[in-house]
Amino acid sequence: MVGGAASGKSAFAEQLCAESGKQKHYLATSQIFDDEMQTKVVKHVAQRGAGWTTHEAPFDVAPVLSGLGARDICLLDCATMWLTNHMLAEHDVADEQDRLLKALRTCSADVVIVSNETGQGIVPENKLARQFREAQGRLNIVLAREAELVVQVVVGLPNVLKGQIP
């Protein structure tokens, strides 16, 4: 699922997972540094409802993905926070992206990934923001290339870019 901030991506992805009939896993990549993020996390937990197993992995998602099987579905929410974490920690983003792709390719479960589209706005005024926008665009491209289904969510409405919604 790709789209702008607060576009309905997570809700749509959660619905897709819930309708799969599989064991639902939520792979949380955000880190809580302030009250605003805490409030957002609480809202997302309530929105998901019961029946989810939550895994917190702001950096290394591979151990979670490798532990899932064919009866599972995993919602990775979100690739944007995962990328932010790595960039702010000054990790080698290309290496981390390769590790993420390898983990996704070897995961036995279905994986639904939420990611923000950051390239449709104005050019950011600072270097880090421009680097982030470029890295996010490259990450979205490789994730979409690997995915069987790519859905852009705008104002809560799905627009299928690749594949078919089951």
Active site residue 86: no
Q: Where are the beta strands (DSSP E) in 30-107?
A: 52-56, 72-77
51: left (phi > 0), else alpha (psi -120 to 50), else beta?
Answer: left
What SS3 class is residue 37?
helix
- 100 CB-contact burial (10 Å; exposed 0-12 / middle 13-18 / buried 19+): buried
With beta carbons less than 8 A apart as the criterion, state whether 3 and 9 touch.
Answer: yes
Measured N-to-C along each axis, helices 9-18 and 35-48 cross at an angle, to the nearest 10 degrees, of: 30
Considering 25, 44, 86, 91, which one is annotated as catalytic?
A: 44
Active site residues per annotation: 44
